Every structure is written in structure tokens, then in C-alpha cells.
Amino acid sequence: MAKKPKEKPAQELSQVKRELAALRKRYVDLYDLAPVGLFTLCAKGRIMEANLTVASMLGVEKAFLIKRTLGEFVHPEDRDLYQRFFKRFPAKDAPHAVELRMRRAIAAPFCARLELTLGHDADGSLLYRVVMSDVTERVRTQTDLLRLRAAVDQAHDGLAIADMEGRLQFANRAWAKMHGYAPDELRGQPMSISHTAEQMERDVIPFNKKVLSEGSWAGEIGHVRRDGTVFTCWMSTVVLRDAEGEVTGLVGLADDITERRKSEEAFARMLAEREAILKSIPDLFYRLDADSNLQDWNQVFERVSGYSPNELKGMNALAFFKADAKIAAEGIAEAVEKGRAYRTARFLTKRGAEIPVFWSAAALRSQDGALQGIVGIGRDLTVK
């Protein structure tokens, strides 16, 4: 009597089929839901297969992509770059990746990185397997960094970054130029290359201690050029911190105030000379603004008028005249119109006395002819 064939092999085959189906589903899920775009191009650049991520990136249905050329989705301004890359790719020395702007169906373009590898289908035909990543944020960050670097490099003030060991990690052109170096020469050098030993002890070390304790500090710091010339900078420095908040270095901004200091010293000398001249004038000196209000005077004017400096500041010129106010007003008007005027008018003091004074007045004008004020001298005619 014949034996029945065993059913076990059929059951095992069925189990294998179920496992294969499950594996295929997992593969399809992994392929479709990958965090990057995955697709296959034929030799002519047509999309033969693509995952859902590609469709999502381009803003279209997955089925819409099949049989279309990838070039259709490349930004018009980048299509020449794409064509050159695609033609060169099979060569051994050609790059295997390119970054392009890709068009979306209803949204703004995005920056994509395409990485290609060669493959073949079951018939041996050439295929391109492509990984597409959205690098918009990275490109935007790189662009912002390049702009920031350009701004820092072109800044008028010097900027340098030093690590916690006091070595320069970066110096912009202005910093390098003011010290007599090229930027690359300063990288890795100790910050003492920009200061004399005396400046380090007197200025830099105490200043940096303040920066580290306060987080930022500003003040005058002595510097030295490559040729040994000493100069002074106004320094504004802050601590540099990493993502965890740890201090990793110092960022310093330097403004060479040598010329400003010279200008300030020259201005101070000019003021001192002016004061000396005003003190030497035996007559009443005055300067009015464009509205005839008193802005400047000498001690003689102060003594004769009897007013204190606080009282004199801003007083109108006609307040110093009573009986001869009309004469004074006519003199001011003539100085404004003709540039110069002379009058004899009685000067009214704080105590009410009227002193006969011979007045001169000259108009002060800017380069464009606008009236800036009036300056002049008054001679007390009672003084012999």
C-alpha cells in the first residue's frame, strides 16, 4: 500500500514565501521612508525608480516621477552644471557628487546634494543609483559664514581671536596691517607678538583678567608694530564660549587711536592757545551764535558786565543794551548783510550802569555760506 506524501515540505515552502514577502515589505518600507531621497536613473537620465522621500522633496506624486528626466527638476540656472556633471560622471577622475538647486512643484527651490554610483540592471544595462540630500540649511549657513568672514576681513577695526593659551587663532586684515604683518603670519603666534613686554605687564595681563572675570571689558591698551613702533588702541574684548558655555578664548576688537590722540592733543593745544589769546586781549571779546545768543567771551567781558559765566551763557546780545538797543541791532544786521560792522553803543551792565563802548562785529559763515554766528571786540571808551 502506497504511503501519502508528507505535507511538511509544502508547509515549509509556504513559510519561506511568507518570510520573503515580509522581508520585501520591510525593504520597501525602509526604501520608501529613508531620510534621504533614493532613485535610479537609466543611461539617458530618466528616473526608473524613486522612493517617497524624493517625491516629497520635489513636491509631486511618486508615480509622476517615473520615466521623467531628472533634468526637468533641476533649477534652470543650474542645468548646464548638471549636464556637464552627468556627461563627465562615468570617467574615473570625475566627481561622484554635485550640489544643485532643485525645483519644487509649488514651493521655493532647495539646494540638493546628489551622490551617484554606477550599477547595472538584470540585462546588464547601465544604471545610475542616486542619493539626494537636502543641504539647503548647510549651504545657507556656509553662505552666512562667508559673508561674515568677508565683513570681518573688510572691517576698519582690527579683530583677533586668541585661545586660552594666549595664541592667536585668527586675525583680520586690519589687525594684521596695523601691526605690520600678513594675517597668515599671525596665526598660532602668542598674543605678545602685538605688545611689548612692558605693555603685556602693564596693560594686557590686567586687562584680560578683567575680561575673564566680567565677561567683557574695554579700555586703552598699548600695542607695538613689527618695526617696533609703539601705538595705542581702544580695545573691546569679550570671552568666547563653546556650545556648553565653556570659555575657549577671547575675541578682541582694536581701534588704533594714535591719530585721534594726536588730534585731541592738537585740539587741546589750540584751546590752550585760544584761552591765552583771550586772556591777553584787554578789550571785551564775544562770540554769538546765528540767533545772536552769547556763546563765548573773555574775562574782561565777564568783569565789565558783572554777570557770572552761568548767567552769560546763551544771553541774547540785545539784553546788554537799553538806550542804544536799536544801534546795536542795526550793527548786528549790517554785519550779517555786509560781513562786518562798527558801532558805538552804551553797554548795559548787570548793575544797570551804561558804559560807552566802541564795538566791532564780523559774520562767521560755513563753507556753503550759512551764517554760523558773529564775533567781535568791544573797547570800553571810559578807559584811558
What class does CATH assign to 12-139?
alpha beta
- List of residues 6+ apart from 239 with CB closer than 8 A: 211, 212, 215, 216, 247, 249, 250, 251
- Which helix (H) or strand (E) segment holds residue 222: the answer is strand 216-224
Q: How far apart are CA 242 and CA 245, in angstroms?
A: 5
Residues with Cβ within 8 Å of residue 45, at least 6 apart in sequence? 69, 70, 71, 86, 128
Mention every residue, 6+ apart, whose C-beta is less than 8 A from residue 165: none
Cα 64 to its chain centre, rounded Å, is: 46
CA 163 – CA 247 distance, rounded (Å): 9
DSSP state of 77: G
pLDDT in 10s for each residue of the chain, 384 residues: 555 555 566 666 666 566 565 556 565 657 787 889 999 998 888 999 999 999 999 999 999 999 999 999 999 999 999 988 888 776 555 568 899 999 988 889 999 999 988 888 878 888 889 999 999 999 888 888 888 777 777 778 999 999 999 999 999 999 999 999 999 999 999 999 999 999 999 999 999 999 999 999 999 999 999 999 999 999 999 999 988 889 999 999 999 998 888 888 888 888 888 778 877 888 999 999 999 999 999 999 999 999 999 999 999 999 999 999 999 999 999 999 999 999 999 999 999 999 999 999 999 999 899 999 999 999 999 986
Residues 161/258, Cβ–Cβ less than 8 Å? no
> Does pTM top 0.95 for this prediction?
no
With respect to CATH, is domain 281-380 assigned 3.30.450.20? Answer: yes
The Cα–Cα gap between 160 and 163 comes to 10
Alpha carbons within 13 angstroms on the beta-carbon side of residue 44 total: 5
Q: Report domain 155-260's class.
A: alpha beta
Looking at the chain, which residues constitute the CATH 3.30.450.20 domain(s)? 12-139, 155-260, 281-380
Give the Cα separation of 370 and 77 in Å (integer).
55
CA dihedral 302, 303, 308, 311 (to 10 degrees): -50
